[in-house]
Amino acid sequence: MNVKIFADGANKEVMLEMYKNPLISGLTTNPTLMKKSGVKNYKKFAQELTAEIKDMPLSFEVFSDELDIMEKQALKISSWGDNVYVKIPITNTKGDSTFNLIESLGKKGVKVNVTAIMTIEQVLNIIPAIKNCPNGYISVFAGRIADTGINPLPIMFDVVKTIEGYPNLEIIWASCRELYNIIQADKIGCQIITVPDSIIKKIPMINKDLNELSLETVKMFYDDATSSGFSI
């Protein structure tokens, strides 16, 4: 496959383990994952990672809701390493566009990862701002689109086509929900997919014989029933 797999998480030990995995090409995190993992010191957590990971893309997100403070945070985060990408949400919580902020950061040489995108219109609107970044990611949350009952595949296909001609930009298939999403992302030419550790562990199952998998499933049910001591 040509799609690059980025490990998505916020457990430092697991992230460092993923860094050593030859299947992994980058790492991403966000404030929600960090909260769930019990991270208390944002800067300490990030800098411990950047101290050990210098040759693989790392994405860390700003967390202010004020655009001017977002920019200050972005510049600090960017300074932690040449391989660091700064995640900027497509808007703040008030719905105010971050277009000018992203454009400004690009002019200052910041690698930007625009996040929380759900529509082709958002992608088209943000390209003029991010196109002048030294490198840029556009994260489209395909998994969250699917959560609404909408098929994300046509959207992702169109999104990938929109950045043709911009060699410094790459599309991220974000919020991966299942292993098959990796296959889907690869088939449409999506450059990157962010994948949680739980799904990365399933990658060896790709192309597994279905008859063999069926037998393994039957054995699992039998073993679990036997060990539980069930009777009727």
The answer to whether residue 231 sits within a structural domain is no
The answer to whether residue 210 sits within a structural domain is no
- Candidates 4, 35, 87, 219; catalytic one: 87
The answer to whether residue 220 sits within a structural domain is no
pLDDT of residue 124: 98
Query: The domain that contains 159 carries what CATH number?
Result: 3.20.20.70
Q: Which domain holds residue 175?
A: 4-204
The answer to whether residue 216 sits within a structural domain is no
- How far apart (Å, rounded) are the C-alpha atoms in residues 32 and 194? 15
Entry pTM? 0.95
Please tell me the total count of domains within the chain: 1
The answer to whether residue 177 sits within a structural domain is yes
The answer to whether residue 218 sits within a structural domain is no
pLDDT of residue 54: 96
What does DSSP assign to residue 205? G
pLDDT of residue 216: 97
The CA-based angle 43-200-189, given to 5 degrees, is 95
pLDDT of residue 17: 97
Note whether 132 and 99 are within 8 A (CB). Answer: no
pLDDT in tens, 75-88: 999 999 999 999 99
The answer to whether residue 16 sits within a structural domain is yes
pLDDT in tens, 139-171: 999 999 999 999 999 999 999 999 999 999 999
Residues with Cβ < 8 Å from 7, sequence gap 6 or more?
A: 14, 15, 18, 19, 21, 24, 26, 27, 28, 194, 195, 196, 197, 200
Q: Which parts of the chain register pLDDT below 70?
A: none
The answer to whether residue 50 sits within a structural domain is yes
87 is catalytic: yes
